[in-house]
Structure 1
């Protein structure tokens, strides 16, 4: 095929090569906020902490119950909880001597909506 035979795709021909945008892409501000959340979750200890908090009966957990499952010191656990809190993934409240933590559902919803496969795409298609 010679160059003269090649057909150039114009604006009207986009449907032949590109799929339409089905949801609003991230803006710069949202990307910065979500990146901070994902960065906080990129540490194995913090990911496990979030999982422990989310799976605890009643939806909240005392910091005293979070120290045992890890081979790190209490100040290290406190640091990791602070990172999760500052990233907007968990909330906390001091009650006397102890601090209680809970997962913020809206934050998890934002993360999951970004990771959700587009409509019409099977999990099998995504795995390929």
Structure 2
């Protein structure tokens, strides 16, 4: 995410609390929104969570029982996650193995990151 301070207009500076944060570009916002949209399905959230707990690539067959879903359904969700850029797919013979793209997960985390101490002080 690009760090650039938000400029306040003169009118905003007179009546509003200054926003002390970094803004993201329109392209960055669209890309990040696409990632969140893909995670709008609970099965995909579970898949990402499961892949985050293992350190190696997994096959669809490893996930079907855990998720209680059929192989074609898990494959569909994996394809959506790959297309969104959240997973990588590696072909090993007849099997496809999937792993998290750490850079995409980091991007999501950066959007959600904020200082809890500052938030709590503001509520007092």
Structure 1 runs (4+) greater than 6 angstroms displaced: none
How many corresponding residue pairs? Answer: 116
TM-score by length of 1: 0.76
Say if 1:90 and 1:101, in contact at 8 Å, map to a contact too. Answer: yes
Query: 1:120 offset after TM fit, Å?
Result: 5.7
Report what 1:22 is aligned to.
Answer: 21
SS at match of 1:22: coil
- Provide the TM-score with structure 2 as the length reference: 0.79
Which 5+ residue runs of structure 2 have no aligned equivalent?
1-8
Q: Deviations over 1:30-63 (max 9, x none)?
A: 122111100111101000011111111x332122
Equivalence map 1:1-128=2 (5 Å):
11=10, 14=13, 17-23=16-22, 25-56=23-54, 58-118=55-115, 121-122=118-119, 124=120
Structure showing the higher helix proportion among its residues: 2
Structure 1, unaligned runs of 5 or more: 1-9
Distance 1:94 1:13, change over 3 A: closer
Contact kept, 8 Å, 2:60 with 2:71, in 1: the verdict is no
